[in-house]
Amino acid sequence: MPTRVWDYLLEYEAERTDIIDAVESVFRSGRLILGDSVRCFEEEFAAYQGVRHCAGVDNGTNAVKLGLQALGVGPGDEVITVSNTAAPTVVAIDGVGAVPVFTDVRPDTYLMDVGQVEAAITSRTRCLLPVHLYGQCVDMAPLERLAAEHDLVILEDCAQAHGARHHGRMAGSMGAAAAFSFYPTKVLGAYGDGGATITSDGAVDASLRRHRYYGMERTYYVVETPGHNSRLDEVQAEILRRKLGRLDQYIAGRRAVAARYAEGLADTGLVLPAVAEGNDHVYYLYVVRHPRRDDIIEALRAHDVHLTVSYPWPVHTMSGFAHLGYAPGSLPVTESLAHEIFSLPMYPSLPVEAQEKVITALREVLKRL
């Protein structure tokens, strides 16, 4: 069997009874949209992440979009984020009519270089949008200071950071709101699409709930500000509830995989992930770096190991964002990374033998480069 960066079939085999039972229980409940499963999942997920409210939505992109709208970010507002992220972060900013402004990333963690944020602030800046990429948090204290000084809101993109901690604080509890994705590959993944926006601010939560429900208060059926239909599905919510109970186990499994890579690849010339001080990494992705990245990926195919790159095209270099006006070379760290990083297989049900095979193949390929 080929080894890939992500696979869910072994996990499904192990959890099948529970997953099928989740589906069956929703189908038998008599309530298929915004029922008990969504409500309970919202309460349980908010508690897990350490905030007061959670609004379940249909995917992570809309979680970011609704988060921005609920925080009052709209047309013409500038949102400071990074180009080294999953494109949906930026698609969501664009989707509310706001203007993404990019800082470069740090050469060690590949996360937002917060030292560059202040220089990017203008009179139009409304929001700072740190992305807790790969499973560890951006350095938040400087952002919180800048947000207070310049009257900005912080929206955390936590799509890759369920359960991550930063100096003891939970990802998603540090900004005014935070967006999560439950895309199947994520640290907490659904069996289909799902997302959530969390906050401790009751007014922001009320706005999120209106935005995901056409713009209506559920009890009044009147639209004041037109919204979207962006509800979390009841079936996915019940599956997520079951999986939330195992989230700490999944994270422990990911950390065990990371520890085996760190040991098996320590002296190979590959640059392994650096964990910033104060961070508890949840290893959504295990991203390594080497100047001969493309040759390595190609050679590993012969060993039946199929790797991917997250992300090969920085968002500012994509044709869809050419209008933002970032010339090649404008974000040098981001651009050089894009040629050198790649992701190793990383998921909690990755069998130890499969991982050993990857390590052995990688060591062999690196020796022969």
Ligand X SMILES: *Cc1c(COP(=O)(O)O)cnc(C)c1O
Tell me, what DSSP letter sits at residue 3?
E
**Residue among 164 and 362 whose Cβ is closer to ligand X:** 164
Residues 234 to 263: which contact ligand X by CB under 6 A?
none
Of positions 93, 159, 208, 350, contacts ligand X by CB under 6 A: 159
Using CB atoms, what's the residue nearest to ligand X? 60
**Residue among 156 and 238 whose Cβ is closer to ligand X:** 156
Residue 194 near residue 170 (C-beta atoms within 8 A):
no
User: What is the distance between the alpha carbons of residues 103 and 131, in angstroms, rounded to a whole number?
Assistant: 12
Per-residue contact flags (x/-) with ligand X for residues 286 to 315, judged by CB under 6 A: ------------------------------
Distance of CA 195 to the CA centre of its chain: 10
Provide the CB-side half-sphere exposure for 366 (13 A, CA): 19
Angle of helix 293-301 relative to helix 352-368, nearest 10 degrees, comes to 120
DSSP of 168-220? TEETTSSSSEEEEE--TTSSS--SS--EEEEES-HHHHHHHHHHHBTTB-TTT
CB of 287 to ligand X, least distance (A): 12
**Residue 136 binds to ligand X (criterion: CB under 6 A):** no
Nearest to 285 by CA among 161, 129, 102: 161
CB of 154 to ligand X, least distance (A): 15
Residues 174 to 203: which contact ligand X by CB under 6 A?
181, 183, 193, 195
**Residue 56 binds to ligand X (criterion: CB under 6 A):** no
Residue 87 near residue 61 (C-beta atoms within 8 A):
no
Of positions 42, 56, 84, 88, contacts ligand X by CB under 6 A: 88
Nearest to 23 by CA among 301, 235, 326, 304: 235
Other C-beta atoms lying within 10 Å of the C-beta of residue 267: 7
**Residue among 193 and 335 whose Cβ is closer to ligand X:** 193
Of positions 5, 66, 86, 128, contacts ligand X by CB under 6 A: 86
Residue 331 near residue 314 (C-beta atoms within 8 A):
yes
Tell me, what DSSP letter sits at residue 308?
B
Angle of helix 247-264 relative to helix 352-368, nearest 10 degrees, comes to 30
**Residue 134 binds to ligand X (criterion: CB under 6 A):** no
Contact window for ligand X (CB under 6 A) among 28-36, 47-55, 85-93, 317-325:
85-93
Of positions 37, 49, 81, 85, contacts ligand X by CB under 6 A: 85
Q: Look-up: residue for tokens 């079951």?
A: 242
Residues 102 to 131: which contact ligand X by CB under 6 A?
131
CB of 151 to ligand X, least distance (A): 25
**Residue 60 binds to ligand X (criterion: CB under 6 A):** yes
Q: Name the 3-class secondary structure at 338.
A: helix
**Residue 61 binds to ligand X (criterion: CB under 6 A):** yes
CB of 213 to ligand X, least distance (A): 19
For the record, the structure tokens of 356 come out as: 């050993």
Nearest to 71 by CA among 206, 230, 219: 206
Of positions 37, 49, 59, 199, contacts ligand X by CB under 6 A: 59
Contact window for ligand X (CB under 6 A) among 106-114, 156-164, 265-273, 294-302:
156-164
Contact window for ligand X (CB under 6 A) among 9-17, 155-163, 219-227, 341-349:
155-163
Query: Which stretches of the chain bind ligand X, using CB under 6 A?
Result: 59-61, 85-86, 88-89, 131, 157, 159-160, 181, 183, 193, 195
